[in-house]
Amino acid sequence: MIIGHEKQWDFLKRQLQNSRVPHAFLFSGEGKLGKRKVAFEFLKLLNCQNSDFSEKPCQVCQSCRALEKGAHPDFFLIKPEKTGIGISQIRQLAESLSLKSYFQWKTAVIDQACLMTAQAQNCLLKTLEEPSGKTCLILISEHPSLLFQTILSRVQEIKFFPVKKEKILDYLINQGIKKSEAQEIVELSSGRPGQAIEFLSNPEKLNEYKSRIKEFLLVFKGNLAQRFHYAKVLTAENENLKEVFDIWLNHLRQSMISKIKKKDFDDVLKMKKILEEIAEIQSLISQSNINKRLALETLFLRI
C-alpha cells in the first residue's frame, strides 16, 4: 500500500493508460519518502496479469507475487556496492534489459542513482539513447543534481514531497498501533512514510533516532573538548555517517518549522546556518575521501 503520493501515482497510471510510459523515469526527493515503494508498485502495475485495470497491481497474480518476492524474471534492481554503482553493474543491466521479456515489460530500478561512477553514467547513457521495446527504468535519487545533465535530459523526472501527517497516522492506526505511539512515530517521521514504516518494523531504529537527537542537543551545550570527543566516538562507531546527518537535518527542519509558526525568526536564521553547515559536510563526506573525524571536528567548530 502506498501512503500519500496520490498525484504522482495518478500521473504514472495515466501514462500507462495513454501508452505514454517513457523508457526512463527519475524519482527524486529526500530519503524515506516512499519513492522506492511507488517505483515497485508501478513496475508491478506494468506487468500485472489482472484483466481489470482498476484492480492493478492486484498483488496476487504470478507477476505481482514474483516482483514482491524479488524473483521476477523481467525485473532488475541495481544498488550501490562499497564504491558506488560501477560500470560493470550497468553493463550487465543493459544486457539483461536487451533480452526478450518473460511477461510484457522489462523493468529495472537503479537505487541511489547519483552514486553511479562517471563511467557507469556514460554507459547508462547508451542504454537511454537506444531504448528497446517495452522497457521501463526508474532511477531513484535524493541528489539528482549529481547526475550528468545528459542523463537528466533523457529521463522524465517525478518529484516526491513529504506526505501529510494525518495520512501516516491513519495508516499506523489501521495497523493496530496505539494512538499515542502512532503520534510519536508520526512526529519523528516528519512526513516520510518510509521512515514511519522503518520505525514500525524496527523499534530499535526509533530508539536510535531519539538518542541521536539527544546527543546532538548535548553537543551544542558541550565545550570544545566534549564536542571533539563526540566526533571521535561517532566516527569510530559509524561506517556510514549519512544516516546520523539525516537525523540531525530532519530534526533541525522540524524545529525550524515550529519556530517559523511561532515567528521566532532569529532562531530560524541560526538553525538555517547550522543546517547548511551540516548539509555541506554531509555532501563533502559522501563525495570524497575526506577524513570523517576531521570533517566532524570542523563542523563542531563552526556550529
Residues that bind Zn ion (CB under 5 A): 48, 50, 57-58, 61, 64
Nearer to Zn ion, 64 or 213 (CB): 64
Q: Which is nearer to Zn ion, 52 or 239 (CB)?
A: 52
Q: Closest distance between Zn ion and the C-beta of residue 113, in Å?
A: 27
Beta strands 106-110; 24-28: pairing state: unpaired
Smallest gap, in angstroms, from Cβ of residue 44 to Zn ion? Answer: 6
Closest distance to Zn ion from the beta carbon of 70 (Å):
16
Bridge partners, residue 50, by sequence: none
Shortest separation between residue 37's beta carbon and Zn ion, angstroms: 16
230-238 contacts: CB < 8 A, separation 24 or more? 230/300, 231/293, 231/296, 231/297, 231/300, 232/293, 234/296, 235/292, 235/293, 235/296
Kindly tell me which of 50 and 156 has the beta carbon lying closer to Zn ion. 50
**Rounded CA separation 289/303 (Å):** 22
Nearest distance in Å: CB 158, Zn ion: 22
Q: Indicate the residue among 50 and 254 with the shorter CB distance to Zn ion.
A: 50
CB of 75 to Zn ion, least distance (A): 13
In 3D, which of 43, 49, 51, 47 has the Cα closest to residue 9? 43
CA–CA separation, 150 vs 142, rounded Å? 18
Residue identified by cell 534492481 is 77
CB closer to Zn ion, 51 vs 201: 51
Q: Decide whether 109 or 256 has the Cβ nearer to Zn ion.
A: 109
In the complex, the smallest distance separating the C-beta of residue 69 from Zn ion, rounded to whole angstroms, is: 13
Which residue, 4 or 57, has its beta carbon nearer to Zn ion? 57
Q: Which residues pair with 161 in a beta bridge?
A: none
Scanning the chain, the segments in alpha helix (DSSP H) are 6-17, 35-47, 62-68, 87-98, 118-129, 149-152, 165-174, 179-189, 193-201, 203-221, 224-237, 242-261, 265-287, 292-302
